[in-house]
Structure 1
Amino acid sequence: MFSKVLVANRGEIAVRVMRACEELGVRTVAVYSEADKHGGHVRYADEAYNIGPARAADSYLDHEAVLDAAEKAGADAIHPGYGFLAENAEFAAKVDDRGFTWIGPDAQAMESLGEKTKARSLMQEADVPVVPGTTEPVTSVDEITDVAEEYGYPVAIKAEGGGGGRGLKVVHSEDEVEEQFETAQREGEAYFDNDSVYVEKYLEAPHHIEVQIIADHHGNVRHLGERDCSLQRRHQKVIEEAPSSILTDDLREQIGEAAKRGVDAANYTNAGTVEFLVEDGEFFFMEVNTRIQVEHTVTEQITGIDIVKWQLRIAADEELAFEQADVDIEGHAMEFRINAENPAKNFEPASGTLETYDPAGGIGVRIDDAIRQGDEIGGDYDSMIAKLIISAGDREECLTRSERALSEFEIEGFHTIIPFHRLMLTDEAFSNGEHTTNYLDEVLDHSRIEEAVSQWGPMNDGSETGEEDEEPTERDFTVEVNGKRFEVSLEEQGAPPITVESGNPGGNSGMARPPQAQTEDEEESVSVEGGDTVTAEMQGTILSVDVEEGDEVSPDDVVCVLEAMKMENDVVTERGGTVTQIMVGEGDSVDMGDVLVVLE
């Protein structure tokens, strides 16, 4: 087994991996950006290294920064978690070339299955049904319209390196093709460093079923049953469960064997997930996620198998210690993603201070998180702050236990999607397992979500601030020596509190600014020449500016696109006018309230 593992990720998944390492007697190394210097994964690790500013491309996605940290720490293996570099075959190859062990499938298998067109071709050769579409990337609008003419609209344009709904755009008519093609390419480049896309027939109301597999270096391949991930919002899973309630025993066996057959043909090792769409009793291969999944937890709950520990053991060349017949599925489990979002405002990302954090407990309750009360939740990364996993003897008991646990889960300081989860547990379609992938976006009455937020939302969403408590002020200072993080804590009676700006683009987030101090950039951002302003409603990064000075705009016109928590958000005007000033450019980081465009 390894002596020290660097976890190239953040948040709850980094802590999840570190906990598995600790139980195996392995020391852990965290990496963090400026925005995460007080992050839970940094607190948990045995040691931690700064790898750059808040922007993921300059920190968590920076290959050399991560590898340099591994060398400084003396790590002998790297676990990527999910997201960021987890499915990057180029990075996996670099890890091996630099003498570290990659905890995941090898680069060749990742390339074969991680790029969706190659995966579709391989699955066809392994006699696994695939959704009709292209098996090569498309490079023009005409190629997409050709597929649509053959199979009919809607079609899905998908980033070749994508996953989790990133870089997936649904096209319902020819006049949407060009815009959605460009957006899918842009998201693919931003999230996966790969702007290649392919196109396939879009199944409008399928069930999303995925099979967890695990394979060692000794020719053993096992599947650990299936998960139903059909409850999705804009192709993002929000509640997952296992096993699926819609599969017959025969179909369950067919899908499990197809998943094993497909990964075996790719010479795949370590953990992975084969995803299928099921409609009208037929199943179609969708993609392989060559990594651990967010929802791996529900599989662990119903099988008793620690998937992350097996990732580590397989990477250390251990052989699987169980046969397929030994995999017993017992009971039912559900995972609820606790996201910092306001469901009543179209799941708009939320941020603020975690004033109250009191998770649920009791029998059958598991919490995966990396936060604590008092933490600042920013908008630099994914909106998921914790996971609530419920297990019980059967689905009915799991539903009632979930209701109890969600009613206990208390978060104050900003909005979360807990009220939405509580609503779904009272929803007939979900309770009966009749929901499909389009249920949230196209079927559910969204006024019910607003009512749920009004009933169960936070008492304090951070919109009002009270007077500061006159208590001792705890000052946390971060000292870095050669990029390695050390902390010093001081407590001072009667001192003014220090305000630290999370994700400060200037790179000085560990320093307190003097009162009323202001940088030149800040002065410029608020020094506008009169007129109405269009401001940022959330913290994020400007992906594109869609207007120029002098342009005439109408109400609801898009002036720029803001990426926040891995979601693209159109910034629109409330009224018409003439653009007189543009305060931001592509790639700029902005905070909530920053002026983006001035209108006259």
Structure 2
Amino acid sequence: MFRKVLVANRGEIAVRVMRACEELNVGTVAIYSEADSESGHVRYADEAYNVGPARAADSYLDHEAVLEAARKADADAIHPGYGFLAENAAFAAKVEAEDGITWIGPSSESMETLGEKTKARRVMADADVPIVPGTTDPVTDPDEVRAFGDEHGYPIAIKAEGGGGGRGMKVVEDESEVADQLESARREGEAYFDNDSVYLERYLEAPRHIEVQIIADQQGNVRHLGERDCSLQRRHQKVIEEGPSPALDDDMRERIGEAARRGVKASDYVNAGTVEFLVEGGEFYFLEVNTRIQVEHCVTEEITGIDIVKWQIRVAAGEELGFSQDDVEIDGHAMEFRINAENAAKEFQPAPGGKLTTYDPPGGVGVRLDDALRQGDTIVTDYDSMIAKLIVHGEDRDECIARSLRALREYDIEGVTTIVPFHRLMLTDETFVAGEHTTKYLDEELDRSRLEEAQEQWGTEETASGDDEEVVEREFTVEVNGKRFEVNLEERGAATLPTASGGEGSSGRPEPAGGDSGGSEAAIEGDGERVAAEMQGTILSVEVEEGEEVAAGDVLVVLEAMKMENDIVASRGGTVTQIAVSEGESVDMGDPLVVLE
């Protein structure tokens, strides 16, 4: 077994992995960006190292910075969690090449084969796993998309090779959208996955999203741990997952599980992973393989009693799986609720941040809470919107729903807007309770006014992260050779301390990447309409030029926020008189982007 594992991630998944390490008597190492210097995963770890500024590309995605932290900590293994570098075959290969450091995950070769969707489709087709009609080679020319549409019809899904969770996927409704959507999918793939290669699939109109958890050891044993239903999604992002699926009969359940095992075994895969399928019209089709642990792995753990993360670590250390396929039994029903800092009533708009003035999670029989937070923490909005995961287990689906409602009523969060009201609504929604929802239900069928009513009835609003308390506790971070040490200072009635920039501040936390977090410093001239940022993020591209005439609905700026590409559009026609931002610049909610007259 390993001595010390560096977890190359943040937040609740980092804490989840560290807890597994603790139970295996393995030391833990955290990494953190400047934005995360006070985050929960840093508090939990045995030791922690700074890997760079707030921008993920300069910290959590910096291969050399992460490897250097592992060397300094003398870690003998790296666990990537999910997101960030978890499915980066190039990084996995670098870890594999390091003397004395083991990669906890599938090999870089397997990640490269199954992580790129066209290669995975070929592997699965060869293993007699049904696949959605589509291309097995990358597509670069709009004419190729048009030809596919002529053969298979519209809509068409254009998907990034390295994408997932809706990121890097664009839907082409008709031929007029081909060029723009192809360019957008390639740009998003390059921005998030450093890979602009895309492929095509027939876009299924109303499928169920079913995924099968697998684990495989170095001795050639492959097990599947049953399926999860992840059909309740908004903009292709999962919000509630459950297992087993209410939509499958025993025959299809068996066929999907065996198809997942067959495909994984054919690829010589080792460690944990998930094979995802779309189910429609009584048939199932391979979608993709996630070569990592997933957000919703907790659902499977609750209904099987198998600790998937601990088995990830054991398999990487060379241990053989200690259970057969026949030993895997499904007990009861489980649901996972992503507690995101979002406002469901405003198209799931990410909250701008806030301080957890109250944070009192639920408990009791069958309730599990995976988080990295405590009361008084400030929400970090630089990466994604998820602040916790609530997992509930019951003897059957009915009890699971009733217990989930009880737990959500107990979950007391104040200071930041969350989607807890949305979850409470869904557990009383006839379509969801009946298990008849598809991946299109939230985006296309649910009455939006019900979300507004739920938010008004059960929601809380975010508060400013600052306060006016007379007692000021300052937490300073001191780093020696990249390792983090904390110094706490409490002041009563003292004047504020000057910051390095000469201003006033209330903590020693480093500034986010790019310096002033206030975003654009451009002076706004004229009296035209100011189009402002709807959320904190980074400018991915500016789509207009000064002097250009635009119409209502035209895209002005593409803003990267919460790992998603967001089009900022003109609400009315006019002339662009000023552009206040540039590509790569960080902006806060409310910062001016473009002026129209």
CA distance in 1 between counterparts of 2:43 and 2:518 reads 31
CA distance in 1 between counterparts of 2:520 and 2:430 reads 53
User: What runs of 5+ residues in structure 2 fail to find an aligned partner?
Assistant: 501-506
**What is residue 543 of structure 1 aligned with on the other side?**
540
User: How far did residue 224 of structure 1 move?
Assistant: 0.4
User: How far did residue 563 of structure 1 move?
Assistant: 1.1
Does residue 40 (structure 1) correspond to residue 36 (structure 2)? The answer is: no
CA distance in 2 between counterparts of 1:440 and 1:153 reads 22
CA distance in 2 between counterparts of 1:346 and 1:305 reads 36
Does residue 596 (structure 1) correspond to residue 593 (structure 2)? The answer is: yes
User: How far did residue 538 of structure 1 move?
Assistant: 1.6
Contact 2:355 2:379 in 1 (8 A): yes
**What is residue 374 of structure 1 aligned with on the other side?**
376
Q: Give 1:402's match in structure 2, choosing from 401, 404, 414.
A: 404
Does residue 439 (structure 1) correspond to residue 441 (structure 2)? The answer is: yes
Does residue 2 (structure 1) correspond to residue 35 (structure 2)? The answer is: no
Q: Deviations over 1:399-450 (max 9, x none)?
A: 0111111111111112111111111011001000000111111111111111
User: What runs of 5+ residues in structure 1 fail to find an aligned partner?
Assistant: 502-507, 514-518
User: How far did residue 309 of structure 1 move?
Assistant: 0.2
**What is residue 184 of structure 2 aligned with on the other side?**
183
**What is residue 452 of structure 1 aligned with on the other side?**
454
User: How far did residue 511 of structure 1 move?
Assistant: 5.1
**What is residue 516 of structure 1 aligned with on the other side?**
none
Contact 1:475 1:498 in 2 (8 A): no
**What is residue 117 of structure 1 aligned with on the other side?**
118
Amino acid at match of 2:307: D
Match of 1:525, SS?
coil
- Residue correspondence of structure 1 range 550-569 to structure 2 within 5 A: 550-569=547-566
Match of 1:131, SS?
coil
Match of 2:52, SS?
coil
Computed over aligned residues only, the root mean square deviation of the Cα atoms, in angstroms, reads: 2.1
- Residue correspondence of structure 1 range 79-118 to structure 2 within 5 A: 79-99=79-99, 100-118=101-119
**What is residue 527 of structure 1 aligned with on the other side?**
523
Distance 1:315 1:500, change over 3 A: farther
Q: Identify which range, 349-358 or 283-292, moves more after superposition.
A: 349-358
Match of 1:353, SS?
coil
Distance 1:285 1:481, change over 3 A: same
Distance 1:52 1:287, change over 3 A: same
- Residue correspondence of structure 1 range 62-211 to structure 2 within 5 A: 62-99=62-99, 100-211=101-212
User: How far did residue 359 of structure 1 move?
Assistant: 1.0
- Residue correspondence of structure 1 range 196-275 to structure 2 within 5 A: 196-275=197-276
Match of 1:376, SS?
coil
Contact 2:211 2:274 in 1 (8 A): yes
Amino acid at match of 2:523: S
**What is residue 587 of structure 1 aligned with on the other side?**
584
CA distance in 1 between counterparts of 2:434 and 2:307 reads 29
**What is residue 316 of structure 1 aligned with on the other side?**
317
**What is residue 479 of structure 2 aligned with on the other side?**
480
User: How far did residue 535 of structure 1 move?
Assistant: 2.0
CA distance in 2 between counterparts of 1:538 and 1:512 reads 19
Contact 2:517 2:586 in 1 (8 A): no
CA distance in 2 between counterparts of 1:378 and 1:177 reads 37
User: How far did residue 560 of structure 1 move?
Assistant: 0.7
Match of 1:311, SS?
helix
CA distance in 1 between counterparts of 2:585 and 2:562 reads 15
Q: Identify which range, 590-599 or 34-43, moves more after superposition.
A: 590-599
Distance 1:512 1:330, change over 3 A: closer
Q: Deviations over 1:218-251 (max 9, x none)?
A: 0111000000011111111110000111111111
Distance 1:428 1:520, change over 3 A: closer
CA distance in 2 between counterparts of 1:523 and 1:321 reads 53
User: How far did residue 580 of structure 1 move?
Assistant: 2.7
User: How far did residue 485 of structure 1 move?
Assistant: 1.0
CA distance in 1 between counterparts of 2:532 and 2:226 reads 47
Contact 1:525 1:595 in 2 (8 A): no
CA distance in 2 between counterparts of 1:211 and 1:511 reads 42
Contact 2:299 2:334 in 1 (8 A): yes
**What is residue 288 of structure 1 aligned with on the other side?**
289
Contact 2:519 2:586 in 1 (8 A): no
User: How far did residue 498 of structure 1 move?
Assistant: 7.2
CA distance in 2 between counterparts of 1:154 and 1:453 reads 33
Contact 2:277 2:284 in 1 (8 A): yes
CA distance in 1 between counterparts of 2:365 and 2:79 reads 31
Q: Deviations over 1:524-557 (max 9, x none)?
A: 7153223242222221110111111222334443
Amino acid at match of 2:395: G
**What is residue 24 of structure 1 aligned with on the other side?**
24
User: How far did residue 481 of structure 1 move?
Assistant: 1.4
**What is residue 301 of structure 1 aligned with on the other side?**
302
Amino acid at match of 1:592: M
Match of 2:521, SS?
helix
Contact 1:500 1:510 in 2 (8 A): no
**What is residue 50 of structure 2 aligned with on the other side?**
50
User: How far did residue 299 of structure 1 move?
Assistant: 0.2
CA distance in 1 between counterparts of 2:559 and 2:190 reads 15
CA distance in 2 between counterparts of 1:383 and 1:125 reads 38
Amino acid at match of 2:370: D
**What is residue 505 of structure 1 aligned with on the other side?**
none
CA distance in 1 between counterparts of 2:355 and 2:568 reads 25
Match of 2:284, SS?
strand
**What is residue 355 of structure 1 aligned with on the other side?**
357
Match of 1:352, SS?
coil
Give the TM-score normalised by the residue count of structure 1: 0.94
CA distance in 2 between counterparts of 1:377 and 1:579 reads 35
User: How far did residue 521 of structure 1 move?
Assistant: 9.7
Match of 1:377, SS?
coil
User: How far did residue 575 of structure 1 move?
Assistant: 4.4
Amino acid at match of 1:224: L
CA distance in 1 between counterparts of 2:576 and 2:498 reads 35
**What is residue 13 of structure 2 aligned with on the other side?**
13
**What is residue 493 of structure 1 aligned with on the other side?**
492
CA distance in 2 between counterparts of 1:335 and 1:169 reads 27
Contact 2:212 2:260 in 1 (8 A): yes
**What is residue 468 of structure 2 aligned with on the other side?**
468
Give the TM-score normalised by the residue count of structure 2: 0.95
User: How far did residue 190 of structure 1 move?
Assistant: 1.5
CA distance in 1 between counterparts of 2:489 and 2:148 reads 64
Amino acid at match of 1:126: A
Number of aligned residues: 587
CA distance in 2 between counterparts of 1:44 and 1:333 reads 27
Distance 1:467 1:103, change over 3 A: closer
CA distance in 1 between counterparts of 2:13 and 2:520 reads 38
Contact 2:240 2:336 in 1 (8 A): yes
Contact 2:355 2:462 in 1 (8 A): no
**Percent of aligned positions with the same letter in both sequences?**
72
**What is residue 327 of structure 2 aligned with on the other side?**
326
CA distance in 2 between counterparts of 1:39 and 1:103 reads 23
Distance 1:539 1:523, change over 3 A: closer
Match of 1:400, SS?
helix
